[in-house]
Amino acid sequence: MALLELKNVTKQYPKSSKGLLKTNLLIKKGAKTAIIGETGSGKSTLLRLMAGLEQADTGSILFKGTKVRGPEDQLVPGHAEIAYLSQHFELPRFITIEQYLYDPYEITLEDAHKTYTACRITHLLDADTGQLSGGERQRVALAKAIIKSPEILLLDEPFSNLDLSHKRIIKEVIFDLEKELDSTIVLVSHDPLDVLAWADEIVVLKAGKIIQKAMPLEVYNHPIDEHTAGLFGSFNLINPTDWGLSINHINNRKGKVIIRPERFQLSKSVKGVKGKVIRTMYFGSYDEVFVETNKDSIVVKAEAGLFQSGDQVAVSLKK
């Protein structure tokens, strides 16, 4: 049985195109699920419905087979076993971190310190909430969400507004939470590259509708459409027969298929489809090389600095 299940759930807002169309979704215990999509696709709405903070217009949301009640059904919205961390959280002022987090009547000191360690905030316990950096505030808010050991943790854009250093720490903390505290985590992100290495399953939302649910490898290499492909970076839309490919791909679109830049390779030999480098874009460890051929205009991921604009090249698909 699913830990959390959404059955035919819809949510619409007056005078707004944002919302959620009929949605069915299963979250299994121990799962790491990422929900991705562009701004306004319904990601945060879906998460708040799961948490019992929004009232569904139709359908049902079940936690262990029991209905998750919305704010119209109870005085205090939310569910005791489902923790939700908003991207717009606020910490109370003029209080230490330990005073904010620890309640001896609700948790043991041992469990509290387990949470402090997992969230990497042990050294901050005596600090005032007003003394924290953005990344430290994020970790404290995360600790508050999990300190009572909820069965499901819902994270809304946990990496937003963080520099690369703090984003890396938050990613490591979330990984540790899943590993050490046996948490079931559902994470919303507008940047799918933040979740490719973490998620068991990726749910893609577009205009309030789930358009693809699959493992990260499947969604990345076989996106359901060009919109989904673009969420994960550059891609090529090519005629498969021109490149010796079968058209039996999940990403077949009107006779063409989606191929990632790293599937191609460039050389200065005579083997392959002849082309000319139009421009290159430097990304540190690699270049994206834009090539014009007599078949397609394509982008190829190549070793940094190896090719320059104007080079005559041969293009082929990697075996």
Q: What is the largest CA-CA distance in the chain?
A: 75
Helix axes 109-118, 164-180, angle to 10 degrees: 140
- What pLDDT does residue 163 have? 83
116 touches 125 (CB < 8 A):
yes
The upper half-sphere exposure of residue 14, i.e. CA atoms within 13 Å in the direction of its Cβ, equals 0
Out of 190, 221, 252, pick the residue that ends a domain. 221
Whether the predicted pLDDT of 168 surpasses 70: yes
Same domain (yes/no): 204, 253: no
Q: What average pLDDT does the segment 138-165 reach?
A: 90
261 and 210 in a common domain: no
On whether both 87 and 26 belong to a single domain, the answer is yes
Tell whether 40 is covered by a domain: yes
Residue 6 has pLDDT above 70, yes or no: yes
Same domain, 37 and 167: yes
pLDDT score of 255: 75
At 248 the pLDDT is: 58
Looking at the structure, do residues 36 and 173 belong to the same domain, yes or no? yes
Residues 207 and 250 in one domain: no
Does the pTM surpass 0.85? The reply is yes
**Has residue 126 got a pLDDT over 90?**
yes
pLDDT at 124: 94
Residues 267, 311: Cα–Cα separation, whole Å: 10
The CA-based angle 79-200-54, given to 5 degrees, is: 25
Q: Are residues 106 and 189 in the same domain?
A: yes
Give residue 285's identity as a one-letter amino acid code.
S
The CATH number for 46's domain is: 3.40.50.300
Tell which wins on pLDDT, 147 or 181.
Answer: 147
Q: How many residues does the chain have?
A: 319
pLDDT of residue 151: 92
Residue 94 structural domain? 4-221
CATH, residue 238? 2.40.50.140
pLDDT for position 252:
57
Averaged pLDDT score across all residues of the chain: 89
Higher pLDDT, 283 or 272: 283
Residues 68 and 201 in one domain: yes
| CA distance readout (Å), 206 to 23, 186, 195 | 12, 18, 17
**Would you say residue 250 has pLDDT above 60?**
no
pLDDT tens digits for 215-226? Answer: 999 999 999 999
91-102 average pLDDT score? 92
CA dist list (Å): 299 to 191, 293, 313 = 21, 11, 13
Q: What are the tokens at 54?
A: 């929004």
> Rounded to 5 degrees, what angle do the CA atoms 28, 159, 227 make?
75
Q: What is the pLDDT of residue 89?
A: 87
pLDDT tens-digit map of 61-71: 999 999 999 99
Residues 6+ away with beta carbon under 8 Å from 39: 190
Element (H, E) at 212: strand 209-214
Domains in the chain, number: 2
Do residues 196 and 85 share a domain?
Answer: yes
Q: Which residue, of 196, 221, 246, is where some domain finishes?
A: 221
Looking at the fold, whether 103 and 201 belong to one and the same domain comes out as: yes
Exposed, middle or buried: residue 200 (CB in 10 Å: 0-12, 13-18, 19+)? middle
Return the number of other C-beta atoms located less than 10 Å from residue 313's C-beta.
Answer: 22
What number is the average pLDDT over the span 300-319?
Answer: 92
Beta strands (DSSP E) in 28-151 are: 32-36, 58-63, 66-67, 82-85
* Residue with tokens 């990497």, as numbered in its chain: 120
